[in-house]
Amino acid sequence: MTQYSGALEKMQVRADSENKVQYTLPIGEHRIGMNALIGRKITLTNLSQINCIHCGIQTNKSYSQGFCFNCMRSLAQCDECIMKPEQCHYAQGTCREPQWGEANCFNTHYVYLANTGQSKVGITRQIHGVVSSRWMDQGATQAIVLYRVSNRLMSGLVETACKSFISDKTNWRLMLKGEPEKLDLKALKNEMKDAIASQIQAIRNEYGLLAVQDIDHETVDIHYPVSQYPEKITSLNLDKESSFTGTLKGIKGQYWMLDDNRVINIRKYTGYQATLLISDQ
């Protein structure tokens, strides 16, 4: 058995040349290549200690996926406008951390369509090569860019317009049930752009033509390391079940899938001190 201990973080993702997702798990100072562990027996144990990923203080409960209560209340990255960018209040002079906002919110964003078992709309800041880490974190098997926008507020306004046509939610159970049927995202993109054209024009009239730009982008297919999907999903909770053992059958989004239909969202336990045991075979 090989053992690693330390604070869990969300898995790092990258797409290889064939758009296959490669996963790396940070746990303390270690970086574990997870794709190689498909088919191996693993044991993950919660050591009953949580440390804030920002200030490092020990906390009884994790807020906003890894923060203590005080950091959750004070950091700009934990403000409600991160989840609802159309509520950006920087212009009102009330941003929690103006410098953080300038560095992270006043740059190019993209509004996209994705297939996560069903079609959805979303926002991403970066596209490395042709695949966004946001798409991989959500378990999207297909994605296509709709618009390039000038800042995060614009992305929220455009996404709000899109939500009158299509949901922005990911059904994680549906995402984990299997390989979804392919969607014609390009046709859906064109249909939706026609439906919300007046709303997009209103945004351009108020904020300028460069605020929302059409972008020519082809549908991207994304592939995940899964040897077997669960037949009936049971969600693991490390706060209730401090340790579990199982054979890793797949990884999709930020979820591990085990051989007995159990799944766990690793990102949910960011900041948890844990031990990972990996069988030699």
pLDDT above 70 for 82: yes
Give 227's contacts (C-beta < 8 A, 6+ positions apart): 38, 39, 249, 250
What are the tens digits of pLDDT across the range 147-167?
999 999 999 999 999 998 898
Domain ranges for the chain = 2-71+227-278, 75-221
pLDDT above 90 for 281: no
Residue 16's φ and ψ, nearest 5 degrees, are: -80, -170
What are the tens digits of pLDDT across the range 243-270?
999 999 999 999 999 999 999 999 999 9
Contact 137, 13 (CB under 8 A): yes
How buried is 128 (Cβ within 10 angstroms: 0-12 exposed, 13-18 middle, 19+ buried)? exposed
Residues 140, 273: Cα–Cα separation, whole Å? 29
Residues 90, 144: Cα–Cα separation, whole Å? 29
Contact 86, 80 (CB under 8 A): no
Mean pLDDT estimate for the chain: 94
Average pLDDT over residues 228-247: 94
What are the tens digits of pLDDT across the range 24-78?
999 999 999 999 999 999 999 999 999 999 999 999 999 999 999 999 999 999 9
What are the tens digits of pLDDT across the range 187-222?
999 999 999 999 999 999 999 999 999 998 899 999
The pLDDT assigned to 168 comes to 87
The pLDDT assigned to 127 comes to 76
Average pLDDT over residues 78-91: 94
Residues 64, 207: Cα–Cα separation, whole Å? 31
